[in-house]
Amino acid sequence: MIDANCHLQFDALWEQRDAIWSRAQQAGVTQAVVSSDFLTAERLVRLRHLSSDGWIVAAGWHPLFPRPLTALATLEKALLAQPTWGLGEVGIDTRHQPLAGQPEFLDHQMSLAAGRFCILHAVGPGSLDACYQIARAHHLRGMVHAFSGSVQQAKQWCDLGWYLSIGGPITRAHAPRLREWVAQIPAQHLLLESDAPDLPPQDWSGVSEPACLVQIAQAVAEIRGISPEQAQQLSRQNALDWLQLSA
């Protein structure tokens, strides 16, 4: 399996990253994508360290974190220096701040990452539709992380060629909206993520980590009527296609 999105650069995980990866490998996870939250000097050091250790890295400014006036210049410099890095976690979040200004900043970030893979955060009223209008104008190999929209919206993103990722919330007993789109989208557009340290599965003890993909794949298998092994292989192949990696 490939974890399509996690955050090992977070303080909560950084010192335990070797143990986390050992547990992930034991669970059958062969690779993981680490996406950034912001790009301070310390964060960039951690991202470069993870990249040199073989992790797949995405850089960008998350919509919930403050950004300096130099944010876009910092991102551009990082991407120019790291041609294999993707863009993420970027997007729009309208839960705690107004929409104004967020679409423009997302558009600028996407403009700096043409042709790269992208991890998109779209949470809050109007965020998915606003992100969709921007994504249409850019040539990115994108995925919407922790997708929570309607089936209609899900199919719209799939028609655009994007992937949709699901994490721990799909294991919860009352998640009809998530179960609906997971069941109905084309299988080749589905990815699995831990979003570590956030969004752990229902019966997981502690924060989320890549090893959680076993429970997530089990839930997806039950919803789609396939075996857990098929769900794991499906998500792995989709991730390889999204990231343009060989098996």
CATH of the domain at 163: 3.20.20.140
| Calpha distance 17→195 (Å, rounded) | 14
DSSP SS3 for 15: coil
pLDDT at 142: 98
pLDDT at 163: 98
| Calpha distance 136→147 (Å, rounded) | 17
Long-range contacts of 46-51 (CB under 8 A, 24+ apart): 46/9, 46/14, 47/9, 47/78, 47/85, 48/82, 50/8, 50/9, 50/17, 51/82, 51/84, 51/85
Q: Say how many domains are in the chain.
A: 1
Q: What is the mean pLDDT of residues 73-90?
A: 98
- Residue 27: Cβ within 10 Å count: 17
- Rounded (10°) angle between helices 228-243 and 213-224: 110
173 pLDDT tier (thresholds 50, 70, 90) = confident
pLDDT at 247: 74
| Calpha distance 38→100 (Å, rounded) | 20
pLDDT at 48: 98
pLDDT at 126: 96
Q: Kindly report, residue by residue over 99-112, the tens digit of the pLDDT.
A: 999 999 999 999 99
**Residue 107 domain boundaries:** 2-243
Is the Cβ–Cβ distance between 231 and 217 less than 8 Å?
yes
- Give the predicted TM-score (pTM) of the model: 0.97
Q: What are phi and psi of 153, to 5 degrees?
A: -65, -40
pLDDT at 194: 98
Residue 242 has pLDDT above 80, yes or no: yes
pLDDT at 107: 98
Q: Which residues contact 218 (CB under 8 A, 6 or more apart)?
A: 171, 228, 231
Residue 141 has pLDDT above 90, yes or no: yes
Comparing 175 with 119, the larger pLDDT belongs to 119
Which of 161, 172, 168, 116 minimizes the C-alpha distance to 146? 168
Arithmetic mean of pLDDT over the chain: 97
Residue 209 has pLDDT above 80, yes or no: yes
Q: Kindly report, residue by residue over 36-70, the tens digit of the pLDDT.
A: 999 999 999 999 999 999 999 999 999 999 999 99
pLDDT at 143: 98
Q: Kindly report, residue by residue over 174-202, the tens digit of the pLDDT.
A: 889 999 999 999 999 999 999 999 999 99
